[in-house]
A and B are shown apart, each in its own frame.
Chain A
C-alpha cells in the first residue's frame, strides 16, 4: 500500500493563478481531509469528505474548493491564489471518524504564493 500520496511536493504560484493539489489514498478509507499548516500554528481543517460525492467545509474553507468523485481521490482547488495561502497542505484519510480510527497523513505540498 502506498498509503496517502500527494502531488506536487512543492509549488510556487503567482497571485491570481490557480492550481489543483492532488491527493489519493489506496486504503479504501471513507473519510478524507485537507489541512493547512502555517509556521508555529496547529493544523487547520479546510475541507473534508465522508465518502464519494459528499464534501463539506471545515474551519478555514475560504479560497478553496474540493470534489470527491471517487473513494480514492480528493483534490483541492485554489482558484485565485493569494499570499495568505502560502502554507504547507496536508491531505489525510481515515476509515471512520470515531473511536480509535487514526488519520493517516500524506507527505504534504509546500505552496508559496508570490
Chain B
C-alpha cells in the first residue's frame, strides 16, 4: 500500500537550521513534492525531486533517496514567517489520476 510518514511537530529558533524528514512507501513512485501551508491558507509549492540528490532553492533544500524511500526538507536561516505546516507528497502513477499522496504534515513553530 501507500504510506507517507513525517513528524507531527517540530520547533526551532530564528536563524537556526531545521530538517524535516519524510519516509514513503508507494507502488509507482513518480516524484516527491514539498508544500508549505500556513494556517488557514492553501498549500503552496516549495520543491520537487524525482532523481536522487539535493535540490537547492534559496534558503530551502530538498533531498531524495529513492532506494531508501526517504526525503528531507532543509530550511536554513529560519524566520518567523517559516512557521507553517510542511507537507510531503508523493506522485504515484499507480493511483487514480497519477494523484499526489500526501503525508499528514509537519507543523513547524519558529520562536525568537
- With contact pairs A99-B50, A100-B48 given, residues A45 and B97 touching in the complex (Cβ less than 8 Å): yes
A58 nearest CB across to chain B (Å): 5
Given the known interface contacts A102-B45, A105-B42, A105-B44, the answer about A58 and B105 at a Cβ–Cβ threshold of 8 Å is no
Closest residue on chain B to residue A41 by CB atoms: B104
**A42 and B30 alpha carbons, distance in the complex (Å):** 19
- How many interface contacts (CB-CB < 8 Å) are there between A and B? 68
Q: Which residue of A lies closest to B43 (CB)?
A: A105
Once bound together, how far apart are the Cα atoms of A35 and B105, in whole Å? Answer: 15
Residue contact A56 to B97, C-beta cutoff 8 Å? yes
CA distance A99 to B91 in the complex (A): 9
**Contact between chains at A42 and B4 (CB < 8 Å):** yes
- A56 and B96 contact, CB distance less than 8 A: yes
- Complex-state Cα separation, A71 to B48, whole angstroms: 26
Number of interface residues of A (CB under 8 A): 27
**Are B87 and A90 in touch, CB under 8 angstroms?**
no
Cβ 8 A contact of B31, one of A35, A58, A99: A99
Interface string of B67-78 (1 = CB under 8 A from A): 000000000000
Instruction: Tell which of B95, B98, B105 has the most Cβ of chain A within 10 Å.
Output: B98
Q: Is B100's CB within 8 Å of the partner chain A? A: yes
Per the bound structure, the CA–CA distance linking A99 and B30 in Å amounts to 7
Which chain B residues border A43 with CB–CB below 8 Å? Answer: 43, 87, 89, 100, 102
Contacts of A31 in B (CB 8 A): 97
Decide if B16 is an interface residue (CB 8 Å cutoff).
Answer: no
What are 15 sample pairs from A and B whose C-beta atoms fall under 8 A apart? A31-B97, A41-B104, A42-B105, A43-B43, A43-B102, A50-B97, A56-B97, A57-B96, A58-B96, A97-B99, A99-B30, A100-B31, A100-B50, A106-B42, A108-B41
Supplied contacts A97-B98, A98-B98, 16 more A-B pairs, CB within 8 Å = A42-B4, A42-B101, A42-B103, A44-B102, A45-B96, A48-B96, A56-B97, A58-B96, A58-B99, A59-B99, A97-B97, A100-B48, A100-B50, A102-B45, A103-B100, A105-B44
